[in-house]
Amino acid sequence: MHMVLYLPKAFYSAIASTFVETLQAINGVRNCEEFSFEFISKDRRPRSKSGITYPAKQHPSRRMDVLVLLTGVSADAREALPMLDAETERVKSLVLLAKQQRARIAATCGASYMLAKLGVLDGRRATISWWLKAEAKRTFPRVKWEPSRIIVRDGLIYTTGAAFAGLELISMLLIDLGYAKEERQVRKLMVLPPARDSQDPYEVPGLKETTSFEKRLRTLARSNLVDLDLHFLSEKLNTSPRTLSRLFRQELQIPPGKWIQEQRLQHARILLESTRLSISEICLRIGYQDVASFGRRFTKLTGTTPGKYRKELRPATGTN
């Protein structure tokens, strides 16, 4: 098996190294060279975001079984998109070659945007870094985006969420290539964390604000979740409900009812992470009267239950 890792102008060295070290560990477990690998880049010495340089070739030296596209884009979509546009042109011939060779093609972080721009994801299910999901949905409506997922496989195409979702990617690739037993052994040897299903618990509320309209809405929502509805917002913004509904669709590409629901559930995530409030207390604070209904909506948005969400995020927040 030969794996090619494409390194753009900026990437996470931790992910590149983890891929290689995991393959080497598989070789060690099997006591033979099951996997070979090489780095490909348009730059002879590509430099990671942390300043580490890697030796790279400009073209694969042999037929590819797997092509992995790495990226390390900024969480600011305005900065990330020009870089992704440029990288799409740089990687186009390599992706076409991988398709001709019927290789598995995997995209990490913002590289899903690159595959979408090349038309590779048309009609397919895919995920992407959570801070790029709005732009991806607007720009590539033919893709069946599932941005809450950590990883999505559709045929020979793999897409992942934000950068360290690459950990889930290497595991899935190894299992799909027939190395499930070895993957379990290596996971234990390297003390890799359990696979995750959703990237929604890691989303930072408010980071995606791009317009003054949305900032004004969020300011009103933060302290008025219980009373929050279309009429409340239209009154505070001195406009009619009909005009405000039109603004929601023009500015945010989302119906007001869905936006309001998302604000409530985002605040629920903050309370689950940072307080000891019970789930029923949180339910009431964000404007829901029925705990079961709140649980269903929370699970639909995040891919996990409120209880599991709190358990997963507690190590990161230091709560007990």
Is residue 160's pLDDT more than 60?
yes
Is residue 320's pLDDT more than 70?
no
- For residue 90, the model assigns a pLDDT of 93
Q: Comparing C-alpha atoms, which of 104, 106, 138, 142 is closest to residue 121?
A: 142
Residue type at 49?
K
CA 192 to chain centre: 19
- Cβ proximity of 301 and 254 under 8 Å: no
Is residue 319's pLDDT more than 60?
no
What is the CB neighbour count within 10 angstroms for residue 180? 12
Residue type at 99?
K
pLDDT tens, residue by residue, 65-90: 999 999 877 767 677 888 899 999 99
Q: Which residue has the higher pLDDT, 304 or 69?
A: 69
- For residue 210, the model assigns a pLDDT of 56
Is residue 294's pLDDT more than 80?
yes
Is residue 264's pLDDT more than 80?
yes
Q: Which residue has the higher pLDDT, 310 or 180?
A: 180
Dihedral sign computed on CA atoms, order 127, 61, 54, 94: negative
Is residue 207's pLDDT more than 60?
no
Tally helices (H) and strands (E) across the chain.
Answer: 13, 8
Asked, colleague to colleague, whether 2-202 and 212-317 share their fold, the answer is no
CATH number of 2-202: 3.40.50.880
Query: Taking the domains of the chain in order of start, what are their residue ranges?
Result: 2-202, 212-317
3-class DSSP state of 246: helix
Is residue 206's pLDDT more than 70?
no
**Mean pLDDT, range 99-112, rounded to an integer:** 95
- For residue 282, the model assigns a pLDDT of 93
Q: Which residue has the higher pLDDT, 320 or 11?
A: 11
**Mean pLDDT, range 164-169, rounded to an integer:** 90
Banded pLDDT at 317 (limits 50, 70, 90): very low
**Mean pLDDT, range 193-215, rounded to an integer:** 71
What percent of the chain stands above pLDDT 90? 51
What percent of the chain stands above pLDDT 70? 94
CA 235 to CA 224: how far, in whole Å?
Answer: 13
pLDDT tens, residue by residue, 34-67: 999 999 999 888 989 889 999 999 999 999 999 9
CATH number of 212-317, picked from 2.30.110.10, 3.90.1150.10, 3.40.50.300, 1.10.10.60: 1.10.10.60
**Mean pLDDT, range 171-192, rounded to an integer:** 92
What's the whole-number average pLDDT of the chain? 88
CA 315 to CA 320: how far, in whole Å?
Answer: 8
User: Which single residue is written with the structure tokens 């290789």?
Assistant: 103
- For residue 75, the model assigns a pLDDT of 67
Find the helix or strand (DSSP H, E) in which 66 lies: strand 66-69
Find the helix or strand (DSSP H, E) in which 5 lies: strand 2-6
Residue length, the chain?
Answer: 320
